[in-house]
Structure 1
Amino acid sequence: MDLRQLEFLVTVADEANFTRAAAKLRVAQPGVSARIRQLEQELGHELLDRSGRTVRLTEMGATVLPYARAALAAVAGARLAVDEVTGLLRGGLRVGMVAPHSSTEFDLAGLLASFHRAHPAVRITLSEGTADHLVESLQTGQLDVALIGVGAKSPVGVAWHVLVDEPLVAVVSSDDPLAAGAAIPFADLRARTLLTFSRGTGLRSVLEAASARAATPLTIAFEASEPRVLVQLVARGLGVGILPESAAREHPRLRAIPIVRPRLRGRLALAWRSEAPSSPAVRAFVQLARHGVRPVTNSVTEKRSRRQGSS
């Protein structure tokens, strides 16, 4: 049994597919299959069920997998300890981001470029997903850091640093009756057809939490992960969009109305595992985000909404 066999097992289990695992490992698929077969022969049991369209762990495979992860983590920890002593900053940084992130106020490419200039030996990879998927990937160690939309509560084992904190606004076409108003109470959204982000996003969780607290059921008829799609639907008069203020400002023909009683906020944050040792590269990236990027707080609509009464 060797570490490469364990790495192949963990990767196939994570990807549930030999082809994707081989691509991720940058080896030929037959090589992956052969090494796992060798491991199964050494242990005397099949670890993977290959009978379906997706590869699944057998009962024995599920038993072995935590030990395989622990062995790989122990080796990674030993390398980190050496790096700490020698002061090296190398290896990889696996970054996830919501697809796409709804705020236009944060320059992720700029942050990544700054980190690369400071630490060119660190290999950076970037992937997309929903906030829920990215959090799960952080918790299981498949990602090192992730840019996510966050709700009111921090998931177990995840810490974050807020990069953008801005109001959520109701967006309507210019001929909508709401366009003449200075603000809209949250309870009044109950009577309207809403367009907003998909389930699993931070903004959607904020909206659902507010609906539950206020006992105000909402009618969400259209949902999408792309702000531009929602804006186009709003422009065609299909409903009221619930968007971050920065996304609404990109479209001057539409009217962004503050939501009050309560005011809702969308937050974009850099998240990382809080209960596991982090590499020097992760710590350096988090430090750059904490100190090199100033949190953005938008308040254009808030200046108007403060004149409308309490939150």
Structure 2
Amino acid sequence: MELRQLEYLIAVAEEAGFTRAAERVRISQSGVSAQIRQLEHELGATLIDRSGRRATVTAAGEVALRHARAALTAVQELRSGVDDVNGLVRGRLAVGMVTGCTITPFFDALARFHSAHPGIDLVLREDNSDELLSGVRTGAIDLALVGTATATPEGVQAMPIISEGLVALVPDGHPLTARQHSTLAEIAAYPVICLPRGTGIRTVFDRACAASGVTPDIALQASAPAAIMDLARRGMGVAVLSASMAAESELRSLPIGDATEPAVLALTWPRTVSPALRELLRHCREAFND
């Protein structure tokens, strides 16, 4: 008895005929008929009644059909189980992170996963958030840490890590240091230093300015928050970043009161999750919950 014979039996029963069953399993009608007859010979019973215009299942065939379906389901589960194991023994995961990423728990998760599954290659890609999200949506990237203006970007699954407001950063002696907070209009009176388009923080800032009718002078752009703060420290303009990025800066940090939409840092991944990615996500959740 062979698995293909069980598959042909199911096809004939469901299609009520040998011709359509043959088309379904993509072999000749005579081939299907011969395999069914061989199965009947091995079982010592007629499984298909061929006397009418439509092939019908006999009482013995009904019993055989039930077990045939169960057998094929078991085989599929066996293959899936082995694939799951193989997926954690060898393979490749493409991981993306925003340029200038310094999120320690994320690196901890990658290190723990690599230690537990050394046969899986981790390929790292650093880029802006828009490009990384595009890669996640197309399947080119398995997991990406991105900045975004929404907790769950369209077309992906996500786990928000940080949600916080924007701040303006200025050095000592700047006119804005006399204030406890700032507004978009006040910031726009000076050259602005910020992240480039395609980043979550820049998206939040641009949306807030558009909603308030403010047109800032984007004088300088840099991908690394440290570079933005260094330029602001040198008097090149007002830096706009998230609150956590500014936490250890020597610059004066002023919350932007009318930029109400938070900037979100989130882990994102495709809707279809492989066994290896599922395991990496487990390590990420544990790392960020430590």
Give the TM-score normalised by the residue count of structure 2: 0.66
Farther off after superposition, 189-198 or 117-126:
117-126
Aligned partner of 1:116 in structure 2 is 114
Amino acid at match of 2:173: D
Distance 1:236 1:80 in 2: 62
Q: Deviations over 1:139-168 (max 9, x none)?
A: 221110111111127443212111122332
Alignment of 1:201-212 (within 5 A): 201-212=199-210
Q: What letter matches 1:93 in structure 2?
A: L
**In the TM superposition, what is the alpha-carbon distance from 1:185 to its structure 2 partner?**
2.2
Distance 2:278 2:222 in 1: 33
Cross-structure match for 2:18: none
Quick one: structure 1 residues 116 and 80, their matched pair in 2 at CA, closer, same or farther if it must change by over 3 Å?
Answer: farther
In 1, distance between residues paired with 2:252 and 2:128? 28
CA distance in 1: counterparts of 2:289 and 2:213, whole angstroms:
36
Closer/same/farther in 2, CA of residues 270 and 203 from structure 1, 3 Å limit:
same
Asked if 1:293 corresponds to 2:288, the answer is yes
Task: Name 1:281's counterpart in structure 2.
Answer: 276
1:106–1:163 CA contact under 8 A, matched in 2:
no
Deviation at 1:181, TM superposition (A): 1.1
CA distance in 2, matches of 1:149, 1:85: 31
Structure-2 change in CA distance of 1:196 and 1:139 (3 Å): same
Structure 2 portions without partners, runs of 5+: 1-76
Aligned position for 2:88: 89
In the alignment, structure 1 segments of 5+ residues that lack a partner are 1-77, 296-311
Partner of 1:272: 269
> TM-score, with normalisation over the residues of structure 1?
0.62
C-alpha distance in 2, partners of 1:176/1:79? 68
Equivalent positions of 1:93-242 (< 5 A) are 93-101=93-101, 104-152=102-150, 154-242=152-240
CA distance in 1, matches of 2:269, 2:113: 16
| Aligned residues of 2:97 and 2:146 also touching (Cα < 8 A) | yes
Shift of 1:267: 1.8
Contact 1:105–1:246 (CA<8 Å) still a contact in 2? no
One-letter amino acid of the structure 1 residue matched with residue 275 of structure 2: P
Query: Residue 87 of structure 2 contacts residue 276 of structure 2 at CA under 8 Å; is this kept in 1?
Result: no
User: Does the C-alpha gap of structure 1 residues 153 and 113 become closer, same or farther in structure 2, counting only changes over 3 Å?
Assistant: closer
- What displacement does 1:193 show? 1.5
**Root mean square deviation of aligned Cα:** 2.6
Contact 1:168–1:265 (CA<8 Å) still a contact in 2? yes
- More off after superposition, 234-243 vs 132-141: 132-141
CA apart distance, 1:272 = 0.6
Mapping of residues 56-71 of structure 1, within 5 Å: none
Q: Which consecutive segments of 4 or more residues in structure 1 shift more than 4 A?
A: 84-88
Structure 1 residue 79: Cα displacement:
11
Distance 1:250 1:152, change over 3 A: same
- Could you say if the C-alpha distance between residues 97 and 218 of structure 1 is closer, same or farther in structure 2, counting changes exceeding 3 Å? same
Query: 1:99 Cα deviation (Å)?
Result: 1.2
Q: Which amino acid aligns with 2:156?
A: V
* Alpha-carbon separation, structure 1, partners of 2:84 and 2:242: 44
Cα distance, 1:136 vs. partner?
Answer: 1.4
Aligned residues: 214
Deviation at 1:264, TM superposition (A): 4.8
Q: Structure 2: how far apart are the matches of 1:81 and 1:143?
A: 23
CA contact (8 A) 1:192 1:240 kept: yes
8 A contact 1:152–1:206 mirrored in 2? no
Greater Rg over alpha carbons, structure: 2
CA deviations over 1:114-145 (Å, ceiling 9, x no partner): 22233333221111111111111112211101
